[in-house]
Amino acid sequence: MPPLLFHDVRVFDGHGVRPRTSVLVDGGRIAAIGDHVPAAGADVVPGAGRTLLPGLIDAHVHLTLPGLRHGFAFGVTTQLDMFADPLVLRAVRAEAARGGPVSDLRSAGIGATAPGGHPAQLVHHGLFGPFPTLAAPSEAPSFVAARVAEGSDYLKVFASSVPGEGHRPSLTADAVAALVAAAHEHGLLAVVHATDVRSALAAVRAGADGLAHLPFDRPPGPEFAAELAARDVFVVPTLTVLESFCGRPGAAEPAEARVLDAAALATLSTPMAPAAADGYAAGYAAGMVAPLARAGVCVLAGTDAGAPGTAHGLSLHRELGLLVAAGLTPQAALTAATAAPARRFGLADRGEIAVGKRADLVLVAGDPLTDIHATRRLVAVCREGVLHEVGAG
């Protein structure tokens, strides 16, 4: 395969911007960056009026095989799954390992929850087979060891239910702390699901590395940001799915809809029941994004794709727009979908445009540093140096 040269292109490298430069890709890696990179023997991709980004990373999804393809088609080259059946996960990993126009992935595998706790409803509705749960803190070491044996890349912990589920059992604070400690003993991150402020703060104080959602039962308040900042806890706001909880369906433009299959479109257009939130408000979480960033909390972009009202890949572009509307700069929002999740999840080979990094790249028309919606104007997506044209920008 000949080298690939992105010529005379605006580059967002995961942190900052180079208004006009060239990027050479060779052997699946970024080989050179500069104004005078030699083009001899390379396939040249014109960059005038375009922006080259690191491949996008969705820091909260629930994967399916179609979701790998859909995500990639929208420039999401890595997806971080937050609950998966190990049998399904093996099939999805095999698909990802074959390469081609699909996202790479990492997964928590089976999340830790109380017997009958969220997401046990998946079993009740026939969407998931029976899975192990945790009845006491003393079971944490064996539970985590089993997840490691199954190939989990990090641990997902359910510290609360979700709005509209009624009073499902939840893990105790002691159980959450025991799970976090067991995860750390195995060198795993502990990422906690908590949709209310009380549960989220308890998880943070138990040593959680990150929150898989922003709580939205009430305004979290300044003490919430201070606590997360002091403990260096990252947060994935998932504003897109919180909108769905509050009754807003997702939507796709006609050209975007053509990428998705019928099942994905049905999921996207069906929000959670409008009454599900019952006093919860997505605005409570959105109002906390800018204060968190000002406090120095690491914000990651994630969508909960696979949940009602979302779609793999497409929803990340909405999430970026919501993060900007909530007060992040476009540059900060793009970092939240590239360099920041790569750093926090230990993906040292991606998330940045730098020499030696994996050549997972997204080319878009326009400048998302001034208009975040330009990320939707995809021209091409590159996985390990292989270019796939996806648009006409």
In the chain, the domains with their CATH numbers are 1-54+351-393 (2.30.40.10), 56-349 (3.20.20.140)
Distance of CA 93 to the CA centre of its chain: 17
**Is 130's pLDDT higher than 90?**
no
The token pair that represents 385 in the structure block: 């140096």
**How confident is the model at residue 128, as a pLDDT?**
74
Q: Whole-number mean pLDDT of the chain?
A: 93
**How confident is the model at residue 275, as a pLDDT?**
52
**How confident is the model at residue 294, as a pLDDT?**
97
Look up residue 281 and give its amino acid. Answer: A
- pLDDT tens by residue, 51-102: 999 999 999 999 888 999 999 999 999 999 999 988 888 888 888 888 889 9
How far is 165 from 82, CA to CA, in rounded Å? 19
**How confident is the model at residue 40, as a pLDDT?**
85
**Is 164's pLDDT higher than 80?**
no
**Is 323's pLDDT higher than 80?**
yes
**How confident is the model at residue 393, as a pLDDT?**
43
Q: Which helix (H) or strand (E) holds 355?
A: none
Share of the chain above pLDDT 90, in %: 81
How far is 31 from 21, CA to CA, in rounded Å? 14
Strand partners, 112: 157
pLDDT-derived band at 392, boundaries 50, 70, 90: very low
**How confident is the model at residue 1, as a pLDDT?**
84
What is the pTM for the complete model shown? Answer: 0.96
**How confident is the model at residue 187, as a pLDDT?**
98
Look up residue 138 and give its amino acid. Answer: S
| CB 376, CB 337: distance < 8 Å | no
How many CB atoms are closer than 10 A to CB 29? Answer: 15
What are the residues whose beta carbons fall under 8 Å from the beta carbon of 107, sequence distance 6 or more?
63, 80, 81, 82, 84, 89, 92, 93, 151, 152, 153
* Positive/negative CA dihedral, 165, 239, 73, 381: negative
Angle 204-312-184 (CA atoms, 0-180°, nearest 5)? 30
How far is 227 from 233, CA to CA, in rounded Å? 9
Largest CA distance in the chain: 65
Residue 71 in 3-state DSSP? helix
DSSP string, 309-324: T--TTHHHHHHHHHHH
Q: How many CA atoms lie within 13 A of 59 on its CB side?
A: 36
| CB 204, CB 231: distance < 8 Å | yes
In degrees and rounded to multiples of 5, residue 44 shows phi and psi of -100, 130
Instruction: Say what angle helices 197-205 and 222-231 make with each other, to 10 degrees.
Output: 20
Among the residue ranges 48-57, 97-106, 114-123, 240-249, the one predicted with the least confidence is 114-123
**Is 125's pLDDT higher than 90?**
no
Among the residue ranges 13-22, 34-43, 237-246, the one predicted with the least confidence is 34-43
**How confident is the model at residue 141, as a pLDDT?**
98
| CB 320, CB 372: distance < 8 Å | yes
**Is 8's pLDDT higher than 80?**
yes
- pLDDT tens by residue, 330-360: 999 999 999 999 999 999 999 999 999 999 9
Distance of CA 157 to the CA centre of its chain: 16
Residue at token pair 């979701």 = 67
Work out whether strand 210-211 and strand 190-193 pair parallel, antiparallel, or are unpaired: parallel
Instruction: Say what angle helices 222-231 and 282-295 make with each other, to 10 degrees.
Output: 50
Q: Which helix (H) or strand (E) holds 283?
A: helix 282-295
